[in-house]
């Protein structure tokens, strides 16, 4: 079946730097994408989403970019903080938004 | 507002034993979901319930059954546990309409860590 994948399993950054987490998706019919953050021992927490009719969406310190031509999604975190250390998942949805397909996740490690 | 709650937090079963994982949400959401998460992998959908009274299979339904008891509660049952079902199980819920932020996000519970020996 089609699935969502990630380019980098682990990303290490210095505190204060910007982080970019990448994700490739394969289902061209997906029309909705979400980024989740999961801290150790907790459930995933919604960060930001984007519809397929958009290229960019900004939140607080986060920006999601969608490139439908190459089926690529990225999450940019500005001024990365120690509290941003977590595993980040991208997920794609379609078909009435009842089902999400998750990628394997990228671990973000923020060093002081 | 507790959000999504799950019980138990931890469970150890022997092969062949049965158990039910409980999930409840107090956000009046229509849809509820059960996922499993294995080490180094993303979440995989086991079953979901789009609305009260309906359930549908997800990506990995074999070995599981679900019950949408009412709008608040959605339980997951393992009839005869197997070591392959050792995993962390997450319940989630979502409103049918877009949320206050304009999103269709699913809200997740804290998870149940299950070990089958």
In the prediction, which pLDDT does A32 show?
Answer: 87
First to last CA, chain A: 41
In the prediction, which pLDDT does A95 show?
Answer: 63
**What is the C-alpha to C-alpha distance for residues A31 and A38, in angstroms, rounded to an integer?**
23
In the prediction, which pLDDT does B33 show?
Answer: 95
**What is the C-alpha to C-alpha distance for residues B51 and B37, in angstroms, rounded to an integer?**
24
**pLDDT tens-digit map of B25-72:** 999 998 999 999 987 778 999 999 988 889 999 999 999 999 998 999
> Is the CB of B71 inside 8 Å of chain A's CB atoms?
no
Tell me if B17 sits within 8 A of B72, measured CB to CB.
no
Nearest CB among A45, A99, A104 relative to B58 is that of: A99
Nearest CB among A43, A93, A102 relative to B42 is that of: A102
**pLDDT tens-digit map of A18-35:** 999 999 987 888 888 999
Neighbours of A86 (CB within 10 A): 21
CB pairs < 8 Å spanning A and B: 58
- Closest-CA distance of chain A to residue B92, Å: 9
Are A100 and B106 inside 8 Å of each other by CB?
yes
Nearest CB among B42, B50, B105 relative to A49 is that of: B105
In the prediction, which pLDDT does B97 show?
Answer: 62
**What is the C-alpha to C-alpha distance for residues A10 and A106, in angstroms, rounded to an integer?**
5
Distance of CA B94 to the CA centre of its chain: 12
In the prediction, which pLDDT does A1 show?
Answer: 37
Query: How deeply is A111 buried, as exposed, middle or buried, from its count of CB atoms within 10 A (0-12, 13-18, 19+)?
Result: exposed
Are B42 and A89 inside 8 Å of each other by CB?
yes
Tokens standing for residue A12: 């290490």
> Where do the DSSP E strands lie in chain A?
4-5, 10-14, 19-25, 32-38, 45-51, 56-58, 62-67, 72-77, 86-94, 99-102, 106-111
**What is the C-alpha to C-alpha distance for residues B78 and A38, in angstroms, rounded to an integer?**
26
In the prediction, which pLDDT does B62 show?
Answer: 97
């Amino acid at each position: 079946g089609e699935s969502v994948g990630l380019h980098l399993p682990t990303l290490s950054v210095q505190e204060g730097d910007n982080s970019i987490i990448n994700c490739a998706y394969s289902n061209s019919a997906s029309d909705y994408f979400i980024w989740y953050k999961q801290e150790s021992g907790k459930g995933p927490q919604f960060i930001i989403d984007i519809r397929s009719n958009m290229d960019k969406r900004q939140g607080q310190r986060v920006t999601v970019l969608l490139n439908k031509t190459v089926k690529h999604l990225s999450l940019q975190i500005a001024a990365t903080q120690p509290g941003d250390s977590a595993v980040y998942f991208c997920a794609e949805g379609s078909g009435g938004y009842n089902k999400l397909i998750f990628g394997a996740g990228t671990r973000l490690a923020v060093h002081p | 507002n507790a959000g999504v709650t799950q019980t138990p937090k931890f469970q150890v079963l022997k092969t062949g034993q049965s158990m039910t994982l409980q999930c409840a949400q107090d956000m009046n959401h229509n849809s509820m979901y059960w996922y499993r998460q294995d080490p180094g992998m993303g979440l995989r959908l086991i079953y979901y319930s789009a609305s009260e009274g309906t359930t549908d299979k997800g990506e990995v339904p074999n070995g599981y059954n679900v019950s949408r008891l009412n709008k608040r509660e959605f339980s997951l049952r393992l009839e005869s546990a197997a070591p392959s079902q050792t995993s962390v199980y997450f319940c989630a819920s979502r409103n049918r309409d877009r949320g206050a932020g304009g999103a269709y996000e699913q809200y997740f519970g804290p998870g149940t860590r299950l070990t089958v020996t």
